[in-house]
Structure 1
Amino acid sequence: MDSSLAAASEARKARLLALKRKKDGIQDDAPAEPIIKNRNFDPESRTLKKRAIIPDDVEMEDTVERDVAGLAEKIIAEDEERRAQELDVFNIAPKRPNWDLKREMDKKLAKLQRRTQEAIHTLIRQRLAAQKGDADDIAGAMRAQEKAQNEDEDEDDD
């Protein structure tokens, strides 16, 4: 069994070698020499080839720098135009100049209104109590004020 595997392996190697030679253009009867491609080596002088140096006065046709030359200025100009449009005062200003102040002050004003009403009621109670002379009886103070108003009306009628 080992001999059959070895034979199959040798046959496969021979087929692969034949395909490689056919691909490279080498005929079966020619000796199998590797083809040397001299990309970086000069066989006449037996030295390495140096890269061709491009003189400074020769301009390259397609360069990234040339493609990007005016791009930065163009982007900056477009950005400034967009900012000028966004910062237009009429676009920023609210329709009513003090709408935000009113919105912030509504809660505070509600507290103040309630306290103001309480203070007014307290002052009225104190005046009524002072007129009657009885600070404890609110109903009596109100009756006293009504009497005073009625007396004033009677005097006006005379």
Structure 2
Amino acid sequence: MSLAETAETRKARLLALKQRKADRLISSTGVIKNRNFDPQSRTLKKRSAADDVEMEDTIEKNVQGLAEKIMAEDEGKREQELDIFNIAPKRPNWDLKRETDKKLAKLERRTQEAIHTLIRQRLAAQKGDSNDIFGAMEAQEQAQTEEDALSDED
């Protein structure tokens, strides 16, 4: 084969390859449309009058009177007299009781423990049982150490 013949066969193969590639692009994507670009003049297309048709339902039209309506309602609320009864709390001492619930829960638990130890001590003293008195005294000492530890935390 001569050099010219190989060049001709190569050109034919390249043209066939380009044609197959172009056919594949058109078949996969369909027809390529340039909506805003004119490939012949290499410029942007001009907008037509049909493109300028306004949409009938827009956000601007929906909220057109909304700002004035809100401002009018706000002015009406400002004009109303300030009612002191609406400001006052339902219970006069709610703020005094607000933070005491947690502290009262701790104290209630400690009170119940102290009552139980006192009852055990009295029952043990009535029976005259030394083991119960000793157990009651240990419980009292343990409660006392717990109370000291909790008071240090506060």
TM-score computed with the length of structure 1 as normaliser? 0.31
Structure having the higher Rg: 1
Q: Which structure dedicates a bigger proportion of its chain to helix?
A: 2
